[in-house]
Amino acid sequence: MIPAAFTYRRAESVDEALRLLAEHGDDAKLLAGGHSLLPLMKLRLAVPELLVDVAGLRELAFIDDADSAVRIGALTRHHDLANSALLTREVPLLAHAAGTIGDPQVRHRGTLGGSLAHGDAAADLPAVALALDAVLVLRGPDGTREVPAGEFFVDFFETALEPGEILTEIRVPKQTAGWDFQKFTRRAIDWAVVGAAVAGDAVALVNMGATPLRATAVESALAAGASPAEAAEHAADDTSPADEPTASADYRRHLARVLVRRALENSRA
């Protein structure tokens, strides 16, 4: 499978990438690790005319300590998240979840920014960003704005990114409470059928609707004093999981309750 013809440009700076996006509008797409975009292009589900490769922008590949938070460049690869000593110490949920993505080859290419910008509800890091109350920094022609993860994921593969904007940085508060990540896959490198991320009293779900979700009913139950097992019974409340031959909606709702219970119990053990 070969993608439809396009023009490849390598941006030498964020400014150059912004300019190329502005000049080419809807015909242009950013290329980071390419591990979501290139498979879609090979299937011709995406047919951009211009690819603006930003993978080489070292200015967007960093993991820095910023007092109560960790600042992460959007082009930081899954492999570097998983192997960062700073992240493992301060935001272990993110480091751990990044290490469960796909396989080593995928983690050598895929980036945090690409994963969030792609906006796939079945991906792991969007739910993790939700559970951690991360803040996303977006740069556009008119400057920079900050969007909380809770407002970033809008709909099926749709995010708050406006055309012409680039996700440059993710700010994640340091974790201070127990955490856990549960992911149920059919085979080793598969995407999650359902996943659950817990950070303290925050609970987020992978693949239980059009977007990654906060399990607000579970969180309210916990706040009202419910035990992890009682609260987890609400894991599928207000969700709309996909109904597929390989995993029915009912099966996904069941998995959500089981995985949230496990994640809550492990996070408190």
Ligand X SMILES: Cc1cc2nc3c(=O)[nH]c(=O)nc-3n(C[C@H](O)[C@H](O)[C@H](O)COP(=O)(O)OP(=O)(O)OC[C@H]3O[C@@H](n4cnc5c(N)ncnc54)[C@H](O)[C@@H]3O)c2cc1C
Place of tokens 């980071």: 32
Give Cα 135 distance to the centre of its chain.
12
195 binds ligand X (CB under 6 A): no
**Which stretch in 66-74, 98-106, 157-165, 168-176 sits in contact with another protein by CB under 8 A?**
98-106
Q: Is 208 in the site for ligand X (CB under 6 A)?
A: no
Is 39 among the residues that bind ligand X (CB under 6 A)?
Answer: yes
Strand residue runs (E) in 23-114? 28-31, 50-53, 63-66, 69-73
Q: Compare residues 29 and 261 and give the one whose CB is closer to ligand X.
A: 29
3-state secondary structure of 32: coil
Among 92, 102, 178, 209, binds another protein (CB under 8 A): 102
- The option from ligand X, another protein, none interacting with 8 (CB < 5 to 8 A, set by class) reads another protein
Q: Please name the helix (run of DSSP H) or strand (run of DSSP E) that holds residue 198, with its range, or none.
A: strand 194-199
| Residue pointed to by tokens 């739910």 | 127
Selection from ligand X, another protein, none that 115 binds (CB < 5 to 8 A by kind) is: ligand X
Tokens 């019974």 found at: 233
Q: Which stretch binds ligand X (CB under 6 A): 2-10, 35-43, 79-87, 234-242?
A: 35-43
Classify 206 as helix, strand or coil: strand
Q: Which of residues 33-52 bind another protein (CB under 8 A)?
A: 34-35, 38-39, 42, 51
Q: How far is the CB of 53 from ligand X (least distance, A)?
A: 9
Q: Which stretch binds another protein (CB under 8 A): 20-28, 29-37, 192-200, 225-233?
A: 29-37
Quickly list DSSP for 124-159.
Answer: HHHHHHHHTT-EEEEEETTEEEEEEHHHHEEETTEE
Q: What does the DSSP 8-state code read for residue 56?
A: T
Per CB under 8 A, residues contacting another protein are 1-8, 10, 31, 34-35, 38-39, 42, 51, 53, 55, 79, 102-106, 108-109, 188-189
